[in-house]
Amino acid sequence: MPRAAIVGAGLSGLTAGYRLQEAGWQVDVYEATDSPGGRVQTVRRDGYAIDTGASALGSTYHSYIALAGEVGIELRRTAPYIGIRRAGATHLLDMDKMVSSGLTTPLLSLGAKLRVPRLAVAVALAKARGQLDYTDMRKAAPLDTESARAYARRALSAELDSYLCEPVVRTMLIADTDKVSKVELLSGIGNIFTAKILAAAGGQGRVPEALAARLEVHLQTPVTEVRRNGTRVCISHSGITSDYDACVVTCPLPEATAICVDDRSILGPLDKNLGYTQCISVALGTARPPDCPAFLVMFPSVENPDIALMFLDHNKAPDRAPAGHGLLSCLWETGASERMIDASDEELVGHTLATVFEVFPELRDTVEFTHVTRWRRALPFTRIGAYQDIGRLNAALDPASPVQYAADFMSAAGQNTAVEFGNRAARNLIDALAT
């Protein structure tokens, strides 16, 4: 029976381990923290299920959907409405009727609406050319030449940047449009407005929890070195060195660069250039739900420089809150998060509540509990040129190596990408062994 080590018990690592175990491998998963799931976590308390990281997914996430079905996790449709704030009001868009909803909304002026087809054409062309293929981000290099804001203001308008493009980018990356590549804008538009939005029953953490239950996961066991030894791989942890036939590395880039001594020359250049965003998430349980049917409210930076979005989790999935109660998850933009991440919980909650009560004044005096999560590494920071660097990294990696990578720095980060790269790493190792 071949043996494999998985470094990191996030969604990609657990997927790779699950696939290898299916193929008859003996698998050990090593996780530095005290829980599996990585940035797909659900905290449960008092009848609430709080998704502290990844919160939903699109119906086009076929690899994730297939895996969830295999491990018995039901996916449910969210409420079809999203809201975007402008001038103190929440403007609703019906995702089941995007064309008619977009034409009639007062969110945008007529001139801005007439420019929206330009954006739709740009997304369609990028998809047709394969430039939004997350399995090979080298194809995105021709798009990776300017920020999302520079593109939006050049090709569309400042109004569309503020009230369409930036809300989408803030939702996908928790960052303003001036901070990230236009690749993120085009992919975000393609994901949000061309798919139904789904949520895992019982919490987004259910899928990694189900995978971890099927595997041998060693928690609080950080790996300190991964080294090839001929056709074998030596894994060091807890003062012990163990011998494996193969390894899949799924930890963040700084750790991967530090421990994977044989591949530092490949990983190092990207590690110097990429970086990670930070994010603060503040969840509020309320004695009643707010008077809003949306599952998501987006905030352009001109409306709120700190809070990027609010999930109305009770509308996202009824099982996230007890009947008759509300659950809101408020995510801070990365610049604000970096500035405030070391502030006290009380300060973060107070600042968040000011925005919540401004949007939903009916929730005053209804807050039952709060929960603060600090993500010091939220997502890879895909500034202009990042996808060109990511493409070069992928081109340099050997698909036949006994050390495979399935990490967030391989492509655009996301739940479906994690599953796809976990599947690919496992498939590469299985094929190499067969050869």
Domain annotation covers residue 101: no
Considering the chain, what percentage of its residues have pLDDT values greater than 70? 100
Within 309-385, where are the H helices?
Answer: 313-316, 334-340, 345-359
Give the CATH number, domain containing residue 74.
Answer: 3.90.660.20
Per-residue pLDDT of 117-172, as tens digits, reads 999 999 999 999 988 887 777 788 888 999 999 999 999 999 999 999 999 999 99
DSSP-assigned letter for residue 320: G
Residue 339: what are its φ and ψ, rounded to 5°?
Answer: -70, -35
pTM for this entry: 0.95
Residues 24-32 have a mean pLDDT of 98
Rounded to whole angstroms, the Cα distance separating 265 from 248 reads 18
Indicate the number of domains in the chain: 3
Domain annotation covers residue 92: no
Domain annotation covers residue 285: yes
pLDDT of residue 150: 96
Res. 385 pLDDT band, cuts 50 70 90: confident
Per-residue pLDDT of 69-96, as tens digits, reads 999 999 999 999 999 999 999 999 999 9
Where is the domain boundary, 346, 375, 404?
Answer: 375
Residue 382, pLDDT > 90, answer no
pLDDT of residue 193: 75
Res. 434 pLDDT band, cuts 50 70 90: confident
Residue 105, pLDDT > 80, answer yes
282 shares a domain with 267: no
- DSSP element (H, E) containing 386: helix 386-396
SS3 115: helix
DSSP-assigned letter for residue 132: T
176 shares a domain with 130: yes
**Residue-number span of the structural domain to which 51 is assigned:** 42-78+197-203+276-375
Tokens of 273: 């250039």
pLDDT of residue 191: 77
428 shares a domain with 295: no
Residues 254-265 have a mean pLDDT of 96
Per-residue pLDDT of 163-221, as tens digits, reads 999 999 999 999 999 999 999 999 888 877 778 999 999 999 999 999 999 999 999 99
